[in-house]
Amino acid sequence: MGSRTRFAPSPTGFMHIGNLRTAIFEYLVAKHDGGEFILRIEDTDQNRKVEGAIDFIYNTLNLCDMKIDEGPNNEGEYGPYIQSERLDLYKKYAEELVEKGVAYYCFCTEETLSLMREIADKKHKPFMYDGRCSHLSKEEIEEKLKNGEKYVIRQKMPKEGVSVVHDVVYGDVRVENSVLEDQILLKSDGYPTYNFANVIDDHLMHVTHVIRGNEYLSQTPKYNLLYEAFGWDAPTYIHVPMVLGSDGNKLSKRNGDASFMDLYNEGYLPSAIVNYLVLLGWSPKENKEVFTIDELIKDFDTSRISKSPATYDIKKLQWFNHKYINNLSDEDYLKFVRPFLRLDVSDKTPEWVDRLLLIYKDHLSYGKEINDLVGIFFNDEINISKENAEFLQSDENIPLVIKTYKEELESLSDWTVENIAEVINKVKEKTGVKGKLLYMPIRIKISGIEHGPELPDEIYLIGKEKVLKRLS
């Protein structure tokens, strides 16, 4: 049997890119050896649940070409795949741990816990529950349960010695047991905590590899102690480095960082996003950057996952997206870019619009950028920067080039790209000017900028009347 991995997001809205990067790693680990990729919804925090979030998750994974083998919308034999539908299971296993003596009922009120936090703050120490309820007698516990007192079930942690976690990326990680708090397994509302539900579900769903952010590495001894208490084998752990923003902080939906859908709606291709994100924390053996999803599945090697944090760089993502846009067929490119064009083209023919979009195929970094690039074709006036204005006055031949080009265009009866290109050659012959001093003055005068698509195409689409006006 191949690897079984699970992506277990909370249903709190659109998927942010740090979370998506983890999903990509989980998918590639499973598919590299022909295994299965599971979607499980971690909705233990009901207060943060967003209606329709499960559909957002499915839509994102489908757009990224990551097929879910089992999940809420395509259940396998280990469902249900939503934690809130598995509450009886968690209660059963939590009570089993109580019977084994590795967990206990805790009846401490919120007032009691708040007081303990205040004391810890005054001592400038991190709060850690002191385990007082673990010393209650059997009779005391029965009496409190009989009286209907609210309780949680806590895991009883060893307070001496060291726990060792083996991780594929970080090797053997040692954690002092004295820093492990008696974590809550089952909350007073009957919902499990994230840590407890993960262990139960991963075991029952036969998950072989757990891939998650390295911020969970120090918590992993708690998972292993639970596996040990049940007599279950722990999965293989693969903790991946965090994805940081340009400010050095971890990318987070709560911090307002970009979600996948934000990028998608801006005009970033899912395949480009996946390609870029997989290289945040993983490096291929060969010196290569652009991969199809099938190539990633074939080449993905967990031994090449980095230990160091990766920095999300929108400019690098734009570079990838430009590559993917450039590789589209003209037909697919037009289907992709047309919806992003927001300028009024009601007075233009469909052929004119398509030609305009196509000349920018080699220049486009993301879909919405098309509106900034093509503004010169819709504005009556253009702005020439101080630097470009100075260039126009930098050589005595420049006025001659512009004057000659205007005269040649005025006499042009058939307005075609080919004829416009030939006019440029005539100006070259008449003035003896070539290269930068020939092309750049003309481009600046008609567009205001020094770089752009092929000059004859640009001139043709701007139109004869507007070009002559700008050259005057």
Examine the domain organization and report whether 79 and 103 are in the same domain.
no
- 419: part of which helix (H) or strand (E)? helix 417-431
- 254-304: pLDDT as tens digits: 655 678 999 999 999 999 999 999 999 999 998 899 999 999 999 999 999
The predicted structure's pLDDT at residue 34: 95
Examine the domain organization and report whether 211 and 101 are in the same domain.
yes
Confidence category of residue 326, pLDDT binned at 50, 70, 90: very high
Catalytic-residue membership of 436? no
Examine the domain organization and report whether 202 and 131 are in the same domain.
yes
> Among residues 192, 215, 240, which one ends one of the domains?
240
The predicted structure's pLDDT at residue 1: 64
The predicted structure's pLDDT at residue 316: 96
Examine the domain organization and report whether 9 and 51 are in the same domain.
yes
Checking if the pLDDT of 47 tops 80, the result is no
Examine the domain organization and report whether 236 and 248 are in the same domain.
no
| CA distances to 57, 171, 214, 288, 312 from 279, in Å | 22, 21, 17, 10, 10
The predicted structure's pLDDT at residue 251: 76
Examine the domain organization and report whether 54 and 191 are in the same domain.
no
Instruction: For residue 435, give the amino acid letter.
Output: G
> Among residues 311, 337, 355, which one ends one of the domains?
311
Examine the domain organization and report whether 96 and 236 are in the same domain.
yes
Examine the domain organization and report whether 66 and 198 are in the same domain.
no
Q: What is the DSSP string of 133-179?
A: GGG--HHHHHHHHHTT---EEEE----SSEEEEEETTTEEEEEEGGG
Q: Which of 71, 67, 87 is closest to 9 using CA atoms?
A: 71
Catalytic residue among 49, 144, 250, 253: 253
Instruction: For residue 171, give the amino acid letter.
Output: G
The predicted structure's pLDDT at residue 323: 97
Calpha distance 177→309 (Å, rounded): 26
Domain that holds residue 400: 386-471
Calpha distance 65→14 (Å, rounded): 17
Examine the domain organization and report whether 178 and 108 are in the same domain.
yes
Q: Alpha-carbon Rg of the chain, whole angstroms?
A: 31
Asked if residue 319 belongs to a domain, the reply is: no
The predicted structure's pLDDT at residue 253: 61
Whether residue 89 contacts residue 204, with contact meaning beta carbons closer than 8 Å, is answered with yes
pLDDT, average across residues 200-212: 97
User: What's 179's domain CATH number?
Assistant: 3.40.50.620
pLDDT, average across residues 227-239: 97
Asked if residue 322 belongs to a domain, the reply is: no
Helix then strand then coil, % of the chain, to nearest 5: 50, 10, 40
Count of domains forming the chain = 4
Instruction: Put residue 432 in one of left, alpha, beta given phi > 0 → left and psi -120 to 50 → alpha.
Output: left
The predicted structure's pLDDT at residue 448: 87
Examine the domain organization and report whether 14 and 64 are in the same domain.
yes
Whether residue 199 contacts residue 223, with contact meaning beta carbons closer than 8 Å, is answered with yes
More confident site: 288 or 252: 288
Report pTM: 0.90
The predicted structure's pLDDT at residue 250: 80
Examine the domain organization and report whether 150 and 196 are in the same domain.
yes
pLDDT, average across residues 238-250: 88
Whether residue 267 contacts residue 340, with contact meaning beta carbons closer than 8 Å, is answered with yes
- 347-356: pLDDT as tens digits: 999 999 999 9
User: What's 464's domain CATH number?
Assistant: 1.10.10.350
Asked if residue 317 belongs to a domain, the reply is: no
The predicted structure's pLDDT at residue 210: 97
Asked if residue 432 belongs to a domain, the reply is: yes
- 140-199: pLDDT as tens digits: 999 999 999 999 999 999 989 999 999 999 999 999 999 999 999 999 999 999 899 999
pLDDT, average across residues 369-376: 93
Q: What is the mean pLDDT of the chain?
A: 93
